[in-house]
Amino acid sequence: MRMWRAKSAALLLLLAGCGGDAGKADPHTPGSPDSAGEAGTQLAESGVDGASPAGEGPRDSGEADQPAAPTDGSASEVDGPEDGGGDDIISPPDVIQPDAAPADATPGDSNPAECKDPFLRRPALEVDLEKKASVAVKLPPCSQAHYYPAEAKGASVNILWNGSPARVVVQQLDGTIIADRNSTPDETLRINMMATRPGEFRVAVISTEGVDGSLSVNCVDGCSNSYTRHPVVLVHGFSGFENIGPVDYFWKLKDEFGGVYDIFTPQQDAFNSIQERAKQLREQLEGYRKRLGYRKFNLIGHSMGGLDCRALASQLNYATYISSISTYATPHQGTKVADAVLGLIPGETGKDILGTMLNLFGVALGGSREQDAKAALSQLTTKYLRETFNPATPDAPGVKYFSITGKTCAGLGCPHDVIRVLRPTYELLKRLEGDNDGLVSVTSSEWGESLGVHQADHMAEVGHLFGATGPYKHLAWFQNHFFILRSRGH
């Protein structure tokens, strides 16, 4: 296995050498998540039943639900309308201003029924709904509230409104209308739907003359299927890539989980500063958010990618749109490998180490690429991370931080022997910092809530080379981490 992984490194070198920044995402036209299916949730049945207590399930009519198309006639593509919506679309999250007064309403208006269509107004509040949620809703005239349940793809959901007359609109986050119904006095409005995308959808309760009632959202089938509330964004590290030909940086993750979760793999420069890479990441996330309507993201950054995520949240003030940041083998306190390469450690020579690192990713020593790599490495030194980056990058309020570390070994009797190309850096770090994964020490990888130490080297953590990771199963770890995100409300 070790010999095979070593030989495979040469193939990766050839692919990377030919690929450059191949696969770089266009931030202005982000691709759809692999879980792409129909943009609209299938409306099974929507109607008005006789009055029933708040929170009670729908009565059995004895008739089979009949699926219907989204009420706005939108095409069933995950990207949603090409122009991001028309007059029928509730304002996306980036223009929502909680507690904003209707622009055309006068305080104390004696005839609120004459206010313009409140469906186009900014919502008075936004509320995340957990499973089997029932909430009291009381709204003044000419206002609305947005509720955000989250379910797995394929889950069957019942939505009930009990109370005074109200307009209830169910939408995908991209604005596709699933159901648009008006309730009548003393009756229960029922909407049955099946989620065709994982994660959040929007239920808007709209008030013309003021409403007082309760909203219930209950999953009735497929409720235990996997999902995360917010989409997952995988952020590559130093010298990384989204894909080069058939080679994925995060090996086979999208193939394995793209039909279950919304997963994105943006592309940043292989060699650049943390701040510049964070800006590139922000631009691509903005593309996803504005086009598909996501409110927040779960960022998973491997190696230097974790630093990009932290800079994005704190230095670029993007925390509003981030639910969690998970860093895997990220050098939060720097790495002595970078110190050695840049000649900052007396008695240690870094030329051979730099050659090993760059050749691993297909960059020959010499020329501008070597200088680019050295410039990027200057931000991975222990001095820079501890004295400059960390003080300037505090944890952002409202963002949950997780960290995962890797640990490998070398020699006979080692069940997870470090890949041969990382042996020099592993031995260097073992002498200077202790346990490590070949590029980053265990102690440097810890940040926020630690989720443990994995027996894997820096390549095996993301499934390389080509899935040959020895006893370590990277796909199983990512699946488990998605479960953790879901259980924590992310």
pLDDT computed for residue 193 by the predictor: 93
Q: Give 241-258 pLDDT, tens digit per residue.
A: 444 444 678 888 888 888
Q: Are strands 188-194 and 42-49 parallel, antiparallel or unpaired?
A: antiparallel
Supply the DSSP string of 171-240, one letter for each residue. Answer: E-TTS-EEEEEE--TTSEEEEEEE-SSSEE-EEEEEESS-EEEEEEEEEEESTTS---SS-EEEE--TT-
pLDDT computed for residue 355 by the predictor: 60
Q: Phi and psi (nearest 5°) for 235?
A: -110, 120
Q: Give 68-78 pLDDT, tens digit per residue.
A: 333 333 322 33
Token digits of residue 33: 């998540």
Report whether 438 contacts 418 (CB < 8 A): yes
Token digits of residue 238: 């130093």
Q: Phi and psi (nearest 5°) for 469?
A: -115, 15
pLDDT computed for residue 293 by the predictor: 93
Q: Which amino acid, residue 246?
A: P
d(CA 432, CA 212): 66
pLDDT computed for residue 369 by the predictor: 57
User: pTM for this structure?
Assistant: 0.76
Report whether 9 contacts 419 (CB < 8 A): yes
pLDDT computed for residue 64 by the predictor: 34
pLDDT computed for residue 115 by the predictor: 61
Report whether 468 contacts 5 (CB < 8 A): yes
pLDDT computed for residue 196 by the predictor: 84
Supply the DSSP string of 377-446, one letter for each residue. Answer: HGGGSHHHIIIIIHHH-PPPTT-EEEEEEEE-B-STT-TTBPPGGGHHHHHHHHHHTSSBSSSSBHHHH-
Cis peptide before 465 (omega within 30 of 0): yes
pLDDT computed for residue 69 by the predictor: 35
> By CB neighbour count within 10 A (0-12 exposed, 13-18 middle, 19+ buried), where does 121 fall?
buried
Enumerate domains of the chain plus CATH numbers: 2-33+231-487 (3.40.50.1820), 39-48+112-223 (2.60.120.380)
Token digits of residue 174: 């991209």
Report whether 294 contacts 231 (CB < 8 A): yes
d(CA 294, CA 264): 12
pLDDT computed for residue 91 by the predictor: 36
Residue 62: DSSP 8-state: S
Taking 50 as the pLDDT cut, the residues of the chain under it are: 1-113, 241-246, 361-368
pLDDT computed for residue 122 by the predictor: 60
